[in-house]
Structure 1
Amino acid sequence: MSQSVYHEIGGREAVEAVVEAFYDRVLSDDRLAPYFEGMDMTELRAHQVQFISSVAGGPVDYSGADMREAHAHLDIGDAEFDAVAEHLESALRVNGVGDENVTAILDEVESLRAPVVGR
């Protein structure tokens, strides 16, 4: 993915807005909210900004934990992964990210399904 996706969607400011909208949705979802109880949401939001910036080809390297290690204790299944992806798609779209860039970002996220769900 070229760096242009990050710039096309509006750079860091846009990614931060997407992350805010994403967590608003996730934390309002009764299926997902329990996964975030007791979590440092400030730190988690910062990691998510890094992650989205990285998968969008931005000038940021994701420095969070390995995806398998970070999610192993959570017992996440495909249904939860799908719900998170749907909330991310919604957050991207509500922040004006175009179809092509939404698809590119979601394809990168989908490539992480196996380690996140523990396969």
Structure 2
Amino acid sequence: MSDTLYDRLGGRDAISAVVDRFYERVVDDDQVAHYFDDVDMQQQRAHQTQFISAVAGGPVDYSGEDMEAAHDDLGITTADFDVIVGHLEATLEEFDVPEDDREAVLEAVGSYEDDIVTVPA
């Protein structure tokens, strides 16, 4: 039996639940909610579920837009990126994801920081 991070996170349904809760936190945060004002959140959730599933070693390939191209015109700052990552970490904690697995997810997401952040803090 496979023991990928994807499996340890509980697979697609569990990752989808984490993503849903994560975006609830993000859109409730005045500092970063504006990045999602004109975003189809159903599509965003689907893309994020696919992205996390892919970076966690799941049986999917991420088919969304290139990270740099997708975020280039948003003007995301390092501080805002850190807030969003903090929401992801808190959500993973809320879902009782073990620390090693939380760190693995955050490291995978963090590896895209240079592509996502366009305005240093």
Label 1:44 to 1:19 Cα distance change in 2 as closer, same or farther (>3 A). same
Structure 2, unpaired ranges of 5+: none
Residue 29 of structure 2 aligns with an amino acid whose one-letter code is D
- Which residue of 1 is the match for residue 6 of structure 2? 6
For the aligned residue pairs, the C-alpha RMSD in angstroms reads 1.4
- Which residue of 2 is the match for residue 117 of structure 1? 117
Residue 25 of structure 1 aligns with an amino acid whose one-letter code is R
User: 1:55, CA displacement in angstroms?
Assistant: 1.1
1:61-94 CA deviation, whole Å, 9 max, x = no partner? 1111001000011000100110110001111111
Structure 1, unpaired ranges of 5+: none
- Which residue of 2 is the match for residue 67 of structure 1? 67
- Which residue of 1 is the match for residue 18 of structure 2? 18
User: 1:3, CA displacement in angstroms?
Assistant: 5.8
Alignment of 1:20-99 (within 5 A): 20-99=20-99
Is residue 105 of structure 2 the alignment partner of residue 105 of structure 1? yes
The alignment's TM-score, normalised by the length of structure 2, stands at 0.93
Runs of 4+ aligned residues of structure 1 deviating over 6 Å after TM superposition are none
User: 1:27, CA displacement in angstroms?
Assistant: 0.3
**What count of residue pairs does the alignment treat as equivalent?**
118
The alignment's TM-score, normalised by the length of structure 1, stands at 0.94
Greater helix content: 1
| Identical-pair percentage | 48
